[in-house]
Amino acid sequence: MINNPQKIVISRTDSIGDVALTLPLAGILKEKYPKCKIIFLGNTYTKPIISCCNSIDEVWEWAEIQKMEDSQQLNWLKDQNVDVFIHVFPRRELARLAKRAKIQHRIGTSHRLYHFLTCNHKPNFTRKNSNLHESQLNTKLLTPFGIDKNYTLLELSNLAQFNSIKKLPSKFSDLLQTEKKNLIFHCKSQGSALEWGVDKFIDLAKTLNVNKFNIFFTGTESESQFFRKKLPIQTNIIDLSGQMSLDELIAFVSQAHLLLACSTGPLHIAGLLNINTIGLYTPKKPLHFGRWQPLGEFVRIIEEKVTSPINQPLDIELRVVKKEVESLFI
């Protein structure tokens, strides 16, 4: 049993959605150990997400650690005086580093063979065949602290403490009209999910009431190549792809009325910001919403009735999505 830790590292060096669903761990630990310093080790591009969590005291960037020589990494980590290192996203080199640094408590799932040599706390659970949500599965790594509660998704959403949002620059805030509902369509996923298809997002945008809705298309510059030239010239359809930093996107989403997307990072951001969030999902495991839906009080899920082939868009009728969007603003 781990008692009264002074400094805990939560390590999750993968994508935005995965990191978003790991933030509740920081809230749970801060609630149990208010004076403990909570550090989150993540990728550089996910730092804006991590920094929104009020329960996290410090952010470490994996890319910066990787720049060090092996001996520098070891000496640096020893100097941090960490009590607990939690490997949420298993990474062999980090598991070895934490052991070499002689961190007292090293937590990692028993389903990684190298953890038997590197971790001294190995909770036994499997993600692959579980019916639990990803954020609920993450809490299983807290059993060495004596934390074995079965959290609801709403509880975990609140524990994420996603409240430290930077100010939105005026060049973007000025686009948000008070007399209309401001909707965000994020139609790509950088290959992280089955998508609905660019054309369906555009068709939906064209059918919504021009006098009632402003529709913003977001995405990276590379993603914009799939839809920028297809967007209709219409006063209420605005292309913001490739124009925002992640900090700015988070702030922009926080002031919008709705975000529509498939299972991708911005969907999780919208959920944690507690705006209306509609996620488009396949029932196919392990990609289904039961495992990967965003946390948040105002999340709605639309699931295709018949599973599409892996290389085909989600088979969800436009009229179904349109009805769901409009029902939120009657």
What is the predicted pLDDT for the residue at 324? 98
Instruction: Give 140's pLDDT tier (boundaries 50, 70, 90).
Output: very high
Percent of the chain's residues with pLDDT above 90: 90
Q: Which of 131, 126, 129 is nearest to 289 (CA)?
A: 131
Domain 170-327 classification at class level: alpha beta
Tell me the pTM.
0.95
What is the predicted pLDDT for the residue at 39? 98
What is the predicted pLDDT for the residue at 309? 76
pLDDT, mean of residues 25-32: 98
The answer for residues whose C-beta is within 8 angstroms of residue 63's C-beta and 6 or more apart is: 43, 44
Instruction: Give 272's pLDDT tier (boundaries 50, 70, 90).
Output: very high
| Whether the domain at 7-159 and the domain at 170-327 fall into the same CATH topology | yes
Q: Which of 255, 246, 76, 125 is nearest to 183 (CA)?
A: 255
CA 123 to each of CA 96, 108, 109, 216: distance values in angstroms, whole numbers, following the listed order: 18, 7, 5, 44
What ranges do the domains of the chain cover? 7-159, 170-327
Domain covering 7-159, topology: Rossmann fold (3.40.50)
Instruction: Give 286's pLDDT tier (boundaries 50, 70, 90).
Output: confident
187 has pLDDT over 90 = yes
